[in-house]
């Protein structure tokens, strides 16, 4: 089937490449000629394991191409996936929909035959219905809007697109052509449905709420264990063992119960804030008031690690030499958007320390956000003459470290495990001062 994908960032580029992998004829569209040129050359402009192979394979078959030309895209297909970003508004909690609106406002007048716009982006509830009206007001042909939210995990995006946990499709059932939309989307995902991936058909509002509700739940689970971690710190209990015990309860599960520095990235923080903002607009702000505390707990963990670093340096960070291992918000990603690791590095520098950061994939992105930090090309370079070492992203390279790896280069044998990913017994037995979050 012929389809287009608008937006070639993390979501759009992944979706375009994976739709081609499923056998469809795909055009990826973006207003940024630099992104388009890179993708057309088979280069993914961000780090995502496995994606470049999928991209290059489908460029070679001719099933996938990229363009900046909206008219080309409008003529190419009747199915247009919307995968642009919905960042947090500056100075507000709400989502900025300017990129979503720009695609619809540009595409709709160019359509020459009935078409559908299928949203993948995370948007406030009510957006899809409003976009349907907006698109039809500007188009001379019939335009249907449906919502098919993504559930991608950075580091596993290809897997999550080609073999997702579920497919959700929201339709405007009052529209006469909703059956056409459903049938078309079923054909696009025929291989996934044949593989018995659950296919859930909903109304537009439910489909929009599924994604933000999922992110709000995950954020709540992470902040819950971090709140318990604070109690563990006050009592001498071990939050890791506590989480293991909780995880055996099938109603709770162990995933997302890792206490530590907290969540970040381009989804969870801005999505729960947008959820709060939209709920307030709908008069239901009391229903999600707890998310404000979820956000507060998460941000408090960052300050906690800065305080731990100061204590490790004798009470003051002024003039201290601090090594930060990790800049991406999670391993297997180069994404530093709202990264707890990079945020902590910046705060420590503001307290007067000399901070050197190393990350296997995210150094260049970090340099653009925090150009005043020092950046290293290896663990040993970052830890050279360090007064304290902070492990803030749980890359395998860091979790595999041993005291013997760092003994020759550090000035003081002190380590803060911001992700509780190291063996505290091993480090203490080697004479290091080890500090974790929520662990004795």
Q: What is the rounded distance in angstroms from the CA atom of residue 153 to the CA atom of residue 318?
A: 38
DSSP letter, residue 150: -
Which residues neighbour 194 within 8 Å (Cβ) at sequence distance 6 or greater? none
- Token pair, residue 435, equals 């500090």
Q: Which of 272, 154, 146, 155 is CA-nearest to residue 219?
A: 272
> CB-based contacts of 48: which residues, under 8 Å, 6+ apart?
10, 14, 154, 155, 157, 158, 333
Q: Which run of H or E residues covers position 199? A: strand 199-203
- Smallest Cα–Cα separation from 158: which of 332, 359, 338? 332
- Please, where are the H alpha helices in 119-203? 127-138, 157-162, 178-188, 190-194
CB 256 within 8 A of CB 76: no
Residue position matching structure tokens 């989502």: 95
Give the C-alpha separation, 356 to 349, whole Å.
Answer: 9
Q: Are strands 79-82 and 199-203 parallel, antiparallel or unpaired?
A: unpaired
In 3D, which of 273, 294, 166 has the Cα closest to residue 225?
A: 294
d(CA 223, CA 357): 26
d(CA 84, CA 119): 9
Q: What angle do CA 365, 368, 369 make, to 5 degrees?
A: 90
DSSP letter, residue 126: T
Give the integer Cα–Cα distance in Å for 18 and 58.
9
Using the CB atoms, write b or e for 414-434: b if 16+ within 10 Å.
Answer: bbbbbbbbbebeebeeeebeb
Could you tell me how far CA 53 lies from the centroid of its own chain? 21
Residues with active-site annotation: 267
């Amino acid at each position: 089937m012929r389809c287009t994908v608008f937006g070639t960032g993390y979501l759009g580029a992944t979706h375009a490449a994976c739709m081609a992998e499923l056998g469809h004829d795909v055009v990826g569209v973006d207003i940024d000629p630099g992104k388009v040129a890179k993708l057309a050359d088979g280069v993914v402009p961000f780090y995502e394991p496995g994606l470049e192979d999928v991209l290059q394979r489908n460029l070679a078959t001719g099933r996938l191409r990229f363009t900046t030309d909206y008219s080309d895209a409008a003529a190419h297909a009747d199915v247009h996936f919307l995968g642009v970003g919905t960042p947090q508004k500056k100075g507000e909690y709400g989502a900025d929909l300017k990129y979503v609106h720009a695609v619809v406002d540009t595409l709709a007048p160019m359509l020459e035959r009935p078409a559908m716009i299928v949203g993948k982006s995370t948007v406030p509830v009510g957006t899809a219905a409003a976009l349907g009206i907006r698109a039809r007001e500007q188009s001379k042909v019939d335009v249907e809007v449906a919502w098919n939210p993504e559930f991608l995990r950075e580091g596993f995006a290809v897997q999550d697109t080609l073999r997702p946990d579920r497919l959700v499709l929201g339709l405007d059932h009052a529209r006469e052509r909703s059956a056409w939309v459903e049938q078309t989307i079923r054909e696009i995902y025929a291989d996934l449905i044949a593989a018995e991936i659950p296919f859930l058909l909903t109304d537009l509002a439910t489909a929009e709420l599924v994604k933000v509700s999922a992110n709000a739940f995950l954020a709540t689970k992470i902040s819950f264990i971090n709140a318990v971690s604070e109690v563990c710190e006050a009592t001498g209990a071990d939050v890791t063992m506590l989480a293991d015990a909780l995880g055996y309860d099938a109603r709770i599960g162990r995933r997302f119960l890792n206490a530590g520095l907290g969540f970040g990235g381009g989804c969870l923080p801005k999505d729960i804030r947008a959820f709060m903002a939209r709920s307030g607009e709908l008069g239901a702000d009391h229903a999600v008031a707890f998310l404000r505390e979820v956000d507060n707990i998460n941000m408090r963990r960052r300050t906690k690690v800065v305080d731990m670093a100061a204590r490790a340096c004798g009470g003051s960070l002024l003039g201290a030499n601090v090594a930060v291992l990790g800049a991406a918000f999670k391993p297997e990603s180069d994404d530093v958007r709202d990264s707890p690791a990079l945020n902590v590095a910046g705060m420590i520098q503001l307290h007067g320390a000399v901070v050197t950061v190393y990350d296997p994939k995210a150094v260049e992105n970090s340099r653009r956000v925090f150009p005043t930090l020092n950046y290293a090309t290896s663990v040993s370079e970052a830890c050279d003459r360090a007064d304290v070492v902070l492990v803030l992203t749980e890359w395998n390279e860091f979790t595999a470290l041993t005291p013997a790896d760092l003994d020759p280069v550090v000035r003081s044998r002190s380590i803060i495990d911001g992700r509780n990913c190291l063996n505290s017994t091993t480090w203490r037995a080697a004479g290091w001062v080890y500090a974790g979050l929520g662990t004795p």
